[in-house]
Amino acid sequence: MIIESYKIEADGVPAQINIIKKPEEFVPIYELVLPRFEEATVAVLDAIRTKLITEVGVKAQEILDPRIMEELKQRFFSKSLELIEKEFPNISKEEKEIFAGTLVHEMLGLGDIEILLRDENLEDIVINNSQEPLWVYHRKIGWLKTNVKLESDTQIYNYASLIGRRVGRSITSLNPLMDAQLTSGDRVNSTLFPISTKGNTISIRKFARRPWTITDFMEVNTISSEVAALLWLAIQYELNIIISGGTGSGKTSFLNVLTAFIPPNNRVISIEDTREIQLPDFLHWVPMTTREPNPEGKGEVTMLDLMINALRMRPDRVIVGEIRRAREAEVLFEAMHTGHSVYATLHADTAEQTVRRMINPPINVPETMLEALHIIAVMHRDRRKGIRRTFQVAEIVPAERGTLSLNVLFRWIADKDKIVPFRPSTRVMDTLRLFTGMSDREIKKDIESKEKILKWMLKNKVNTVNTVGKVVSEYYTEPEKVLTAISKNESPRTILGEFARELGR
């Protein structure tokens, strides 16, 4: 039985995807159907491949430089078409492009895996060894077994080594573990036998080609407009926020969604192990990533190094991919206490667990320092239903004698699949009143205005990082103009200007 079927294309190579439920299999099968070549055609393409190596003239530094990889692929593709034209003058243009694209995938890429990387429905692609087929994680269905298999553990090693060389990392028997990042932004982890006892492995976590936005989150009910409006207000007025949740719950995606609310006149520094955060193009933003040591153990740049350096760059906002260690947390909270607005992620399943993790080893933040944190937003992934939800939004309330308490403002009700108010705010409202001079009525009106804008963006499919960021920035600059346009239900183009071309992507 076919559960789902669709087509994708990569570098001119078309593919049919069939997701099939078979009685003898415990999980559905992800079937990749590619164009078939006759044996004689394969032999000619092998000869063309040999010619390409000598005729294109690739320098070693070009293969290793991710910045010019697309240009290199285009050179190979063009030369492939030229040689294919000579060998197959009577076939169609589409067939020639299929041949050329296949050669590019085999010579410069990861073979058939290049096709899987273009499937926007996939979140993860994993190779467990050469004896088993690849597995993929489909965003709607979950784990699927594929019909794709690699020839040998040597081929898996070659792919891992190719990925590593392009980002200045190596994987060898002495260094059998590797974390790297593809030029597309996809994260890669690889291990070698005998560390992975069944054989060499590669795990690819795909980077979203179109990052999630707040309108996407509202559309799939990950967050309500009421909660989104409150967090928007908190970010506007520089309250510190930590996003927590379990593995795969959407912490980084949620952090990325919230960054669109940062005012355009603020300088933003982001610090990550691998690049996942994507802010609007027009923001004043400096992204930084860590670096592992070279084989001699030199050249390492840690998260702590970047955090200390970031504070010397006069940031208004600091975004940290994930807090893991005591020294990192200490610098992070010191940044909060010195007037910087900080947003970060942390592994924890509830707001209470988030606080416990921060005040106990290995993070060990003193409770007195934790007072600088205003809001904890917790993400949850319901694996049974295949959904992600904002599980809790809580504020940290300093109490007498240095102790802290948590006040849960919103929580997700599982049986109703709804995010509902739980308790009224005390700390956040007090802070907003103190630093903005607004009354409770004015704060409520501000939140209602933001909620109207969010609903208008959802209705009009304003759903790219740039278009959401542009609407937010225009609101900061000319709030009455934006609110008037929304009240008159005007077209988003009146606000977006040049970014209107991205509408509905």
Q: Is 255 exposed, middle or buried (0-12, 13-18, 19+ CB in 10 A)?
A: buried
Query: Which residues fall within 8 angstroms of residue 268, CB to CB, at 6 or more apart?
Result: 259, 262, 279, 283, 284, 285, 286, 315, 316, 317, 318, 319
Per the structure block, which two tokens stand in for 200? Answer: 């060499």
β-pairing, 201-205 vs 187-191, is antiparallel
Q: Is 23 exposed, middle or buried (0-12, 13-18, 19+ CB in 10 A)?
A: exposed
Q: How far apart (Å, rounded) are the C-alpha atoms in residues 16 and 261?
A: 39
DSSP single-letter state for residue 66 = G
Q: What's the mean pLDDT when you consider all of the chain?
A: 89
* Domain spans in the chain, listed from the N-terminal domain onward: 112-207, 214-437
pLDDT band, residue 166 (cuts 50/70/90): confident
Query: If we measure between CA atoms, which residue out of 261, 177, 179 comes closest to residue 472?
Result: 261
Cis amide bond preceding 194, omega within 30:
yes
The per-residue pLDDT for 170 is 83
**How much is the average pLDDT of 177-193?**
85
To which residue do tokens 């007025």 refer?
A: 237
β-pairing, 387-398 vs 375-382, is antiparallel
Query: Which residues fall within 8 angstroms of residue 421, CB to CB, at 6 or more apart?
Result: 226, 409, 410
The per-residue pLDDT for 87 is 83
Q: How far apart (Å, rounded) are the C-alpha atoms in residues 66 and 229?
A: 39
The per-residue pLDDT for 182 is 72
pLDDT (tens digit per residue) in 392-445: 999 999 876 667 899 999 999 999 999 999 999 999 999 999 989 999 999 999
The per-residue pLDDT for 376 is 98
The per-residue pLDDT for 495 is 85
pLDDT band, residue 183 (cuts 50/70/90): low
Entry pTM: 0.80
Of 113-127, 230-244, 274-288, 387-401, which has the strongest mean pLDDT? 230-244
Which of 38-52, 112-126, 407-421, 478-492 shows the lowest mean pLDDT across its residues? 38-52
Greater model confidence, 211 or 160: 160
pLDDT (tens digit per residue) in 291-346: 877 777 788 899 999 999 999 999 999 999 888 888 889 889 989 988 899 999 99
Which of 63-72, 154-163, 489-498 shows the lowest mean pLDDT across its residues? 63-72
Greater model confidence, 473 or 1: 473
The per-residue pLDDT for 91 is 85
DSSP single-letter state for residue 70 = H
pLDDT band, residue 491 (cuts 50/70/90): confident
The per-residue pLDDT for 232 is 98
**How much is the average pLDDT of 372-387?**
91
The per-residue pLDDT for 65 is 58
pLDDT (tens digit per residue) in 55-105: 666 655 555 555 666 777 788 888 888 888 888 888 888 888 888 888 888
Termini Cα distance of the chain: 32
Of 80-89, 231-240, 265-274, which has the strongest mean pLDDT? 231-240
Contact 21, 28 (CB under 8 A): yes
Angle between helices 440-459 and 465-477 (to 10 degrees): 140
Whether pLDDT at 9 is above 60: yes
Angle at 170 between CA 168 and CA 174, to 5 degrees: 150
Which of 76-90, 199-213, 374-388 shows the lowest mean pLDDT across its residues? 76-90
Which of 63-77, 145-159, 177-191, 358-372 shows the lowest mean pLDDT across its residues? 63-77
Q: What is 112-207's CATH number? A: 3.30.450.370
With a pLDDT cut of 70, the percent of the chain lying above it is: 95
Query: If we measure between CA atoms, which residue out of 401, 343, 408, 347 comes closest to residue 372?
Result: 343
The per-residue pLDDT for 61 is 54
CATH 3.30.365.10 fits 214-437, yes or no: no
CA of 170: how far to CAs of 125, 157, 198, 207, 293, in Å?
21, 11, 21, 22, 10
The per-residue pLDDT for 57 is 62
CA 235, chain centre distance (Å): 20
Query: Which residues fall within 8 angstroms of residue 316, CB to CB, at 6 or more apart?
Result: 238, 266, 267, 268, 340, 341
